[in-house]
Amino acid sequence: SYELTQPPSVSVSPGQTARITCSGDVLPKKFVYWYQLKSGQAPVLVIYEDSKRPSGIPARFSGSSSGTTATLTISGAQVEDEADYYCYSTDSSGNDRDVFGPGTRVTVL
Amino acid sequence: QMQLVESGGGLVPPGGSLRLSCIASGFTFSHYGIHWVRQAPGKGLEWVALIRYDGDNKYYADFVKGRFTISRDNSKNTVFLQMNSLRPEDTAVYYCAKDHGYLGTYWYFDLWGRGTLLTVSS
């Protein structure tokens, strides 16, 4: 398998922009996905295939990927965006045991 | 709407067994693979197992091979995770998650349940 790296925490004031990075040597060969986890709730896919937003996800969530680093951006963060965010990468082949990043706690206050 | 609901978690002594269930609704269950993903207390997410839509192919993380068995009953829209020889390090919230692939496998998760807690302790 391989490793992904994320910062443990990111803090932002309401209305400001939060950026969460995910780094890994395999990222040039794989898509990145971002999941939002809130305690007691079902995890939610917020970005898929590096930069695509599922229906129902607010437009303030965006994703990008370049080289070995992917970034989840929350533009105009809201209090309800406070959560843990995990990156995950796969090339959909099933050849690797794809892994999650360690997660980033986003605090909005 | 599409939904996954896990059940079956609880307190089990080391070496014990337990079976988790995941019931799906709101989509054609037999067309999609289902994964189990876990999160130990204070830790990150960890993929556990996958069963493809037809049940013919199953995949496991190395740390559960030989101890856990994933299965499905498409007539009941349910996936099971039979867990044997449980260890304290298996303590976690176990989530089931739907694979994105239609009649195939994309190896990512587009719908999750709320999870069920397994505690392995004497």
Q: Do A42 and B46 touch (CB under 8 A)?
A: no
pLDDT digits (tens, 9 = 90+) for A64-95: 999 999 999 999 999 999 999 999 998 888 77
Give the pLDDT score at B114. Answer: 98
Q: Which residues contact A29 (CB under 8 A, 6 or more apart)?
A: A91
The single-letter DSSP state of residue B28 is -
Q: Which residues contact B28 (CB under 8 A, 6 or more apart)?
A: none
Q: Alpha-carbon distance B68 to A25, whole Å?
A: 31
pLDDT exceeds 80 at position A31: yes
Per-residue pLDDT of chain B (122 residues; tens, 9 = 90+): 999 999 999 999 999 999 999 999 999 999 999 999 999 999 999 999 999 999 999 999 999 999 999 999 999 999 999 999 999 999 999 999 999 999 999 999 999 999 999 999 99
Q: Do A35 and B109 touch (CB under 8 A)?
A: yes
User: Which residues of chain A have a CB within 8 Å of the CB of B62?
Assistant: 97
